[in-house]
Amino acid sequence: MKHLFLLTLTCVLFSTFTQAQKKNKTYAITGKSSNNFFWADIKEIDISSGKVVKSIFEADKTFFKTKTLNDTESRTQTPETVKPTEFGVAACALDSRNNRLYFAPMHFADIRFLDLDSKEASFTVVKKNVIPVSNSTVIYQPEENQITRMVIAEDGFGYALTNDANHLIRFSTGKSASVQDLGNLVDAESNKGLSIHNKCSSWGGDMLADAFGKLVVISANHNVFTVDVKSRVATFTGTITDLPANYTTNGAVVNSDGDIVVSSANVFEGLYKCNFKDLKAVAIPNVDKTFNASDLANGNFLLQKEADVTNKFDLTKFTLPSFDAAGDAKVFPNPVTGNQFNVFFEGQKPGRYNMVFTDLAGRTIASKIVTIAKGNQVENCNLLSKTAKGTYLLKVLTENKQVAFSEKIIVQ
């Protein structure tokens, strides 16, 4: 019995450690080996230690393929051709559902992504010139229109923001992506003169998403704003303190503990973390050579623990399904409190679909083949009674094994 207990405890600790590792898995836009201040390389890093895990793309060395979203064929390119990270990158975001790293190259208002599932470096241009240039003879975007903040939010959409905060771009991450300019952010009255549009205080930096549907902008000058997407009102939240001199906050993500982790493109001081409540920064001990990074991206949401607690006790929130523009289907109830849940199909093409319920490591726990006719349709999925509490993923696949949609599910 003692040995069984120790074995069980070891398994639990290993599982917890593995989940923490996955949550700390982050992508960074770093300087090239030939020029530390030309941010065009992509690396996977561990933000708990500041260690570089592996290089994903090196602009001067890596062969790559590129295509536009609707292309059926990719074109193989050599490092000597025009690079997908041309002129550097200051904004990127991780789409955990499709395992893609979205980004916008500096000087161009393009939305692109790197397919992280591909064995070769494979880039796709979603849309060029999201913000039209002033005239046909102009190639580069002016500084104010350069996209420097990007994140995939809790609603499943990607959001990107220009330096001057006059263009909040929203893009879907599905097969047929839509890209929309929502317009300018608006300063809250409580900001008392500290504007989200001010070049000195509020340009650059990065953007996070919280688990309640808000965006959080962290400017290069350490100032933090919370943005309501529907009203586009930006409220000054505070300023990150205790950072080294000349440390610009260019990249930001959330770690497995729910803290904010920031990086600097300007100095080689490593990573710093801070709690969202007090915004006091402390250095993360380095176990590897420090690097500078113009942007960071992972799939964690700010205030996730607080949202989990709220959802647990606010059961009325899940008595009826709620649908929005984030996708054509929703799961309800979510969180799941019993051993089954329902999937609402809307707008999907008629045909056979495979509902695959997996854990976050991709292991299949349950699956079901369903046939969808025209119109709205609800299908149920049964779970094993011994399914452990936690976060899971539902993927709905077409007959061609393409992902029609996916949804994060919490089992309580």
User: Residue 49 domain-assigned?
Assistant: yes
102 in the same domain as 80:
yes
Within-domain flag for 12: no
Q: Quick one: what percent of the chain has pLDDT higher than 70?
A: 83
**358 and 251 part of one domain:** no
Look at residue 27 and tell me if it is in a domain: yes
Q: Is residue 222 part of a domain?
A: yes
CATH number at residue 378: 2.60.40.1930
pLDDT in tens, 167-198: 999 998 877 778 999 999 999 999 988 999 99
Domain containing 111 — which CATH number?
2.120.10.30
Tens of pLDDT, residues 325-369: 344 447 878 788 777 888 887 777 888 888 888 888 778 888 888
Domain shared by 285 and 162, yes or no: yes
List the domain range (segments joined by +) for residue 187. Answer: 19-302
Evaluated on CA atoms 115, 116, 117, 122, the torsion sign reads positive
Residue where a domain terminates, one of 253, 270, 302: 302
Averaged pLDDT, 149-163? 93
In a domain, 114, yes or no: yes
**What is the number of domains present in the chain?**
2
Does 194 lie in the same domain as 267? yes
If asked whether residues 242 and 343 sit together in one domain, one would say: no
- Whole-number average pLDDT of the chain: 83
Do residue 42 and residue 103 come from a single domain? yes
Task: Report the alpha-carbon distance of residue 62 to residue 248 in Å, rounded.
Answer: 29
Do 328 and 360 belong together in one domain?
Answer: yes
Domain for residue 73, yes or no? Answer: yes
pLDDT, tens only, 98-155? 899 999 998 888 999 999 999 889 999 999 889 887 776 677 888 999 999 999 998 8
| Residue at which a domain ends, from 243, 276, 302 | 302
Q: At 21, which amino acid appears? A: Q
Amino acid letter, 276: F
Of the residues 279, 302, 325, the one at which a domain ends = 302
Are residues 268 and 331 located together in one domain of the fold? no
Does some domain include residue 395?
Answer: yes
368 shares a domain with 239: no
**281 & 357 share domain:** no
Predicted confidence (pLDDT) at residue 13 exceeds the cutoff of 60: no
Higher pLDDT, 28 or 310: 28
Residues 281 and 367 in one domain: no
| Closest of 223, 191, 188 to residue 205, by C-alpha | 223
Does one domain contain both 140 and 245? yes
Beta-sheet strands, E only, within 143-275 = 147-152, 158-162, 168-171, 179-181, 186-187, 206-209, 215-218, 223-228, 233-239, 251-254, 260-263, 272-274
